[in-house]
Amino acid sequence: MKPLARTASLLAIAALFAFAQNPNEDRDRGATRLYTGPAPIVTLAGTLVDAGCRNRTPLNASLPPLQFPAALPAETPAEAQAGRQMRAAQGYQDPAQPAQQQNPPRAAFGINVDSKTLAAERSDVLEHQVPDLHSRQMDPTCAITGNTHGFAVILGDGRMLGLDDGGNTYANVAIQGSAAGRAMLSGTGGGMKPQVTIKGQVRGEKVVVHSLKLTK
């Protein structure tokens, strides 16, 4: 009987010790909700930015977008005049001349170039000088430009969450549907950091977007 009594005493002591460790275990059991299913749908408000931005610090992301001189030509009048003179010296046609006044083929560095070839080469050389040239560049302040391929939202506490593939599609549609977005994409406006409201599920550092709306 003594071994049984000793065993019973040890079990009683262990039970008391466990109760002392968590006296509210029985009372809390079943009262704490455990989320084992999908993440809840939440509403997030913040600033929509370029997810590919390198400097993702809160200070840099809070800066206003850079304003590009989109209204200015790709070259100054003096540069344009110098370019025309250089092309004329090489036998190229002056683009300011009407088509019916095209010069006959001339020798340029020993090569005969006809007018059609000159026109084709000129379009290739000047292809990059388009109105939306600046809007195709990445903005260092994380603003959205024509070069943006992925989007992120900066919340009020400074946290940046990327959007999933569906969220990127929602953001693209919203940008193209806004006046500022159309101006940016056409080259008549600079980058943008619009305010946005998103409904979706937060999974780690990404948002599975269910809906997205520009608010400002």
Q: Hey, where are the domains in the chain? A: 42-72+132-214, 77-125
Count of other CB atoms within 10 angstroms of residue 173: 12
Asked if 68 and 135 count as a contact pair (C-beta separation under 8 A), the reply is: yes
Q: Is the pLDDT of residue 28 over 70?
A: no
Confidence category of residue 12, pLDDT binned at 50, 70, 90: low
Average model confidence (pLDDT) across the chain: 75
Whole-number pLDDT of residue 155: 93
Q: Is the pLDDT of residue 202 over 60?
A: yes
Asked if 191 and 67 count as a contact pair (C-beta separation under 8 A), the reply is: no
Dist CA 135 CA 143 (whole Å): 10
Confidence category of residue 64, pLDDT binned at 50, 70, 90: confident
CA-based torsion, 155, 161, 164, 165: positive or negative: positive
Whole-number pLDDT of residue 3: 59
Whole-number pLDDT of residue 97: 64
pTM: 0.56
Dist CA 167 CA 149 (whole Å): 12
Distance set, CA 136 to CA 99, 127, 174 (Å): 32, 13, 18
Token duo for residue 187:
């080259």
Q: Which residues contact 109 (CB under 8 A, 6 or more apart)?
A: 90
More confident residue, 105 or 156: 156
Whole-number pLDDT of residue 104: 58
Whole-number pLDDT of residue 71: 45
The three-point CA angle 209-212-215 to 5° equals 150
Q: Which residues contact 54 (CB under 8 A, 6 or more apart)?
A: 140
pLDDT digits (tens, 9 = 90+) for 162-181: 999 999 999 999 999 999 99
Asked if 32 and 46 count as a contact pair (C-beta separation under 8 A), the reply is: no
Q: Say which DSSP state 52 is in.
A: T
Give me the phi and psi of 162, to 5 degrees please.
-80, 155
